[in-house]
Structure 1
Amino acid sequence: MAKKLFFQNDLSCSVDGLKSLTEQLREVACQLQAHDFCYVLLRDGICVDRVVACGDVPKVLSMYFEPGKRLSFSHYSSEVPFEFSTPDGQKWWAISSVLEGDSWSLMAVFPQSYDSRLAEMLFTLMLQLVHERMMGIQMQQNIENNNSFTFAIMNSLRFGVIAIDLEGHILYANDTACVMVNIRRRDLLLIPIHQLVQGWAAISESVVAGVKFQNEEVPVMTADAVARFNINVSPINDLSGHLLGMVVSLREIENLYEIVNKYTGMQARYTFDDVVGKSKEMRRLVDYARTIADSPSTVLIEGESGTGKEVFAQSIHNGSSRRDAGFVAINCAAIPENLIESELFGYDDGAFTGAKKGGHPGKFELAHKGTLFLDEIGEMKADMQAKLLRAIQEGAVMRIGGTKLIPVDVRIIAATNKNLKREVEKGLFRLDLFYRLSVIPLKLPPLRQRKSDLPSLIRLLMQKKSLRLHKNIPHLHYSEFQQMLDYAWPGNIRELENFIEQLVNLDGKFSFDYFKQQMTDSYHSTVMADADEYRVGGFIPCSMDELEKEHIKKMIDHCSGNMSQVARLLGVSRNTLYLKMKKYELVR
């Protein structure tokens, strides 16, 4: 094993690595006919190595500078020639100088017969060669260290990185890139980039022209098939700004969707521990939901508005093996009819005017490996029901404007406040889709059927609202508490939450009688007010459309623009309400 010589900044090199330097020193010494000339490498006065420059060094001198031996004189760090004697009495000249580091020094040894100027010239040349070689070694070591750091950093990244030159030759690919395309690095370096990335010519032209190429979905040839990756391409410029090459980063679409879901709130927050209910019915429902949570079968949750359908949906997701993937929710009633297809299935680049460049993934793709929650599924139109059924059956979707099916692994949970069986009988909902969705049915009871859970719900909501509003928990009189227990709560938990928030905001100075009148009688009082305003001789002198338009307008004003409340009081869905508003040009 070669000895290690440590210089400034702990830079290391081996004695074997100094052989070429030794040859240079020999050559210089021989050209100057400097016989019996040698140098000695010292550390803290201890001989580390000696190298003959030209000719043979007497045995006594070789023994005197034996490696590992400490010198008996203290001039080894002086740059002034000095005299010393070997044990046989022979006298020698020596001159030394400190190298790159306080502990290392180089000593030149020559007979007294040498001209001192020749010796100094040889020694100066020797120092210069050693210094240059050490600097070269240090620079090479720094480059190797930097490369090691760079490679380690690149290989620690969770996305692929490929560096290419201007001719499209791949110069470097990190471990992740090799795994993503399933090609060994040595083979990948032989593949031109245009054979790997489809449409590379156009991508390269745009980057050369200074146009950013970021977050685009691009087909990439892997060892198995063509796969789509999210790609960024950035230029590599020298200090003068001249283009040297490009770096391509690849991210798997699935991993990218997980990041999107995480930072856009597409994650389930609730678990079964958040379900408040000690009644027999609620305990039975929770146990049943826990049992089916990890099943891949579709779940249909039915229940009135405000009964906690999404809480159960999120709890089922978090109770399944899909909990680490996304929980993607879409309200089928809140999205206009002409947009819901693109929301569910996504679209490709150029699918329609205004389509995002590179296309856009739909909710099915975003929910890959996770759960897709279809809220208010009963509001979906017939043509979309057919497309949804096809996607569920095939386990794949086709983007608008696309030409190929994209496989998706999605668990479907649907929810509705309608009786879907009755909707099927009316011809408003497809029977085959109903069967597909209701493989595991779950019907949530309204609050009026689980009165024993009310005390727990009231205490929990008071604590949560007080904490959020930075208010004290108000005192609730027994009579008001009893009124709350006797009330039917047509809006269920959402209505209860509304009342408690008002109660906490007003420090308990809020009459439950007033709340009941406000919430339960508003619809009837508004209808009568509208009728009284237009009534002449016991009838209303206007068309039904005019009466409906005026009534909707007054309800919107009465509810301060809260469309959910307006729709509930009118007894229609929000989608129907929006359609009527569009019909009567009631724009909000």
Structure 2
Amino acid sequence: MSISTAVSSPRPRVWAMGISRLRDLFVDIASEYAGRADVRVVPRGFGDAVQEIEAAGSERPDVIVAGGSNGAYLRTRVDVPVVVIAPTGFDVMQALARARRDGDSVALVTHGETPDEVKRFAAAYGIDVIFASYRSTEDAQQCVHALRERGVDAVVGPGHVTDLAERAGMAAVFVYSRASVRGAFDTALDVAHATRAEGVRRQRLDNLLQHLRDGVVALDAQGRVEAINQRLAGVLGIDAANAAGMPLQQLAPELSSALPDTDGDTLVSLRGASYLVHRGPLAGAGAAAGTVLTFQESRAVERLDRTLRSRQRVQQFTARYQLDDLIGGCPSIERVRTLVRRYAKSDATVLILGESGTGKEMVAQSMHRLSARRDFAFVAINCGAFPEALLESELFGYEEGAFTGARKGGKAGLIEAAHRGTLFLDEIGEMPLPLQSRLLRVLQEREVVRLGSTEPTRVDIRVVAATHRALTEGIELGTFRADLYYRLNILSIALPPLRERTTDVMPLAAELLLQAAAREPRLAARVPDLEAATRVLAPVGEPLRRYAWPGNVRELQNVIERIAVELADAEGAADDAFTREMLDVVAPELIASAQPQKKGALTLRERSRHVEADEIRAMLAACGGDRDAACKALGISKTTLWRKLNPA
């Protein structure tokens, strides 16, 4: 019978299963728990009780309350917690006292061995009692018949035993009291709440397991599946719902020889895909009680690695310049701007040609900021600024222990740092030949091998190289690889020297002066804008335009810095200009040099020769015309000096 019929109630479902006297006691007490649990009294025992539980389906009880033999039977045959009613010492004492009133010879019959405390209790109070026990219904019948044969007048025991005793003509006293049944119900409620809480916890863990992107399986100490998520079950082609309790080796025989024997990582090929498998301990009771295996698809690991590397950028790997920073309006500079915008749409390698100081890195940064790679790293390295061994480790990185002094854990090279971004190789003509061949492989295969490693790392980079040298001459001399040159010279941009941009000299000078004024508080009020900067420099415009500028924009910037310092220290009105006399003091080489400039465009070789000639003239001017001193400072002979100043 059902005391509470709340279907799908959040209250625990408790089934009290018993027959005879125990059933009647359940009915009397169950109503007391109607507000706390959904209690159902089921007049079934043993096999009939098992069938009733299995037929309940989703309405199965959370916990079962039953008497001794019935409870012991159910515990071994159903997967529902069973609380067996345990009579208290007071119950036994009262029952024995009542039995003594009904007969001279009394027997206490219990399911299983009689507890020692009951025997000690009877001995302490001088109660003459025969102790008997049984394990099954057949045992109970034989036990009762044997007691009758011995002349026992009264029997104390559970319901089934007392029924047998009465049918055998003996007095019978029911050992269970209302207090012991209430205690069993209270214990059942505690068990039900704990079971539900554990069920909720396991459900949450299972939900977490199912939402993991990796495949996960937990095994017990014997290699049987305790839990597996759907992702891994799908890969293995098994049913996750029916996998629990099955040996993993039986479910997936192909894994038996591939899984790692010890904790750690290994690469496993499974159904045409590669997985990184990590084995770790499944802790329980303070020790390893099993194993947890996680399966990560290698392609996902590679994607994650690329994402992490692309985000690990530091400030020095950021492009600062943009195309608007390229000052000038002459046709050659407009052509450069057009090429930068066009090449920014491509991922092809670019070779930037131009003398030192013409702004090659500014052009490279501008191209990067206009490209689809703008959100990733811009990594610049000067190939002529490092010794060969240091340049190799900086470019390609190294593994731990690759050489003496190698950083613990190794180090990623600049090529890896440029992943998904732009790698700018300045002064590529200075790169040593051995490194040229390694760089060629990077350009061909788009993978890099660290020093001390044999495993290549895939990189997604756009390469921009720059040089002030004629690389074709290096090929002829054997100092530069022809195959590397053709790999680099896919797209090219030639930057004109400043001497061929005479119309841009003054706009550049004014912009540089304005930038210097922004850094110098004493000059800020005097040069507040570009118009003021142009006005200040107007008196020295002619010598600035006439000078050959062998150092190009970098040299112009140096001269403007000197002018800014002189202006900051000079006293006068806010509109005072910078005079020719002041220019003679801060930049005498501009006045001393009066060489006529060649009109029209020059070839790269002609530009290189003119640069050398201009540098020699500047040194001669610094040495006051002393050729011996100039040759010593330049490290050349007088014959070389004459040849450089008078090219054929």
Normalising by the residue count of structure 2, what TM-score does the alignment of the two structures yield? Answer: 0.52
CA deviation map 1:500-553 (0-9, x unaligned): 55666777336544432489989637973997xxxxxx979xxx9xx569x89x
Query: Hey, what's the Cα distance between the residues in 2 that align with 1:529 and 1:244?
Result: 87
Partner of 2:540: 483
Equivalent position SS for 2:317: coil
CA deviation string 1:75-103 (max 9, x = no partner): xxxxxxxxxxxxxxxxxxxxxxxxxxxxx
Per-residue deviation, 1:274:
4.2
Relative to structure 1, the CA distance from residue 124 to residue 381 in structure 2 (aligned partners, 3 Å threshold; closer, same or farther) is closer
After superposition, the Cα gap between the structure-2 partners of 1:254 and 1:233, relative to the gap in structure 1 and judged at 3 Å, is farther
| 1:254 and 2:313 are equivalent in the alignment | no
Partner of 2:623: 528
Secondary structure of 1:306's match? coil
8 Å contact 2:563–2:586 — kept in the other structure? no
Q: Give the Cα–Cα distance (whole angstroms) in 1 for the partners of residues 324 and 500 of structure 2.
A: 21
**Partner residue in 2 for 1:39:** 31
Between Structure 1 and Structure 2, which shows a larger proportion of helix residues? Answer: 2
Report if aligned partners of 1:351, 1:400 keep a CA contact under 8 Å in 2.
yes
Shift of 1:300: 0.7
Q: How does 1:408-447 map to 2 (within 5 A)?
A: 408-447=459-498
Write the letter of the residue equivalent to 2:389.
Answer: N
TM-superposed CA distance for 1:498, in Å, is 4.1
Offset of residue 431 of structure 1: 3.4
How many angstroms apart in 2 are the aligned matches of 1:235 and 1:385? 48
- Structure 1 gaps, min length 5: 7-12, 56-116, 205-217, 532-537, 553-570, 572-588
Q: Hey, what's the Cα distance between the residues in 1 that align with 2:511 and 2:228?
A: 55
Q: Distance in 2 between matches of 1:331 and 1:26?
A: 90
- Aligned AA for 1:255? T
Deviation of 1:415 (Å): 0.3
Distance across 2 between alignment mates of 1:494 and 1:407: 37
* Structure 2 Cα separation of the partners of residues 481 and 517 of structure 1: 18
SS at match of 1:338: helix
Structure 1 residue 441: deviation in Å? 1.3
The reply on whether 1:515 has 2:586 as its aligned counterpart is yes
1:379-425 deviation line (CA, Å, top 9, x unaligned): 12334334433443454444444456655443321101223334444
CA contact (8 A) 1:480 1:512 kept: no
SS of aligned partner of 2:25:
coil
1:138 and 1:226 map into 2 onto residues whose CA distance is 39
CA distance in 2, matches of 1:133, 1:273: 74
Match for residue 305 of structure 1? Answer: 356
Give the one of 425, 440, 447 matched to 1:389: 440
**1:436 partner SS:** helix
Instruction: Write the letter of the residue equivalent to 2:344.
Output: A
Which whole-Å CA distance do the structure 2 matches of 1:31 and 1:355 have between them? 81
Q: Is residue 18 of structure 1 aligned with residue 12 of structure 2?
A: yes
In structure 2, stretches of 5+ residues that fail to align are: 44-175, 241-247, 528-532, 571-581, 593-614, 637-643
> In structure 1, what is the equivalent of residue 192 of structure 2?
133
Question: Distance in 2 between the 1:527 and 1:453 partners?
Answer: 26
Q: Distance in 2 between matches of 1:526 and 1:241?
A: 84
Provide the C-alpha distance between the structure 2 equivalents of 1:366 and 1:172, rounded to a whole number of angstroms: 41
| Aligned residue runs from structure 1 range 226-237, under 5 A | none
In 2, Cα distance between equivalents of 1:503 and 1:184: 78
Query: Does the aligned pair in 2 maintain the 1:40–1:51 contact within 8 Å?
Result: no
Q: Which of 1 and 2 has greater Rg?
A: 2
Residues 36 and 54, structure 1, Cα contact 8 Å, conserved in 2: no
Query: Which residue of 333, 340, 353 corresponds with 1:282?
Result: 333
2:372 partner SS: coil
Question: What is the aligned counterpart of 2:314 among 259, 263, 271?
Answer: 263
2:101 is the counterpart of 1:30: no
Supply the distance in 2 between the matched residues of 1:27 and 1:437 (Cα, whole angstroms).
94
Deviations 1:185-227 (A, max 9, x none): 9799968799468xx86x85xxxxxxxxxxxxx8844556779
1:370–1:426 distance in 2 versus 1, CA, 3 Å: same
CA deviation vs aligned residue, 1:129-154 (integer Å, no higher than 9, x gap):
324422442354245446646876x6
Structure 1 residues 193, 460: closer, same or farther in 2, change over 3 A? farther
Number of the residue aligned with 2:81: none
Q: 1:30 corresponds to which letter in structure 2?
A: L
In the aligned structure 2, how far is the partner of 1:416 from the partner of 1:455? 26
Q: More displaced, 309-318 or 270-279?
A: 270-279
Tell me the SS of whatever aligns to 1:39: helix
Separation (CA, whole Å) in 1 of partners of 2:520 and 2:257: 59
Partner residue in 2 for 1:114:
none
The alignment's TM-score, normalised by the length of structure 1, stands at 0.56
Distance 1:244 1:520 in 2: 87
Instruction: Provide the aligned C-alpha RMSD in A.
Output: 5.5
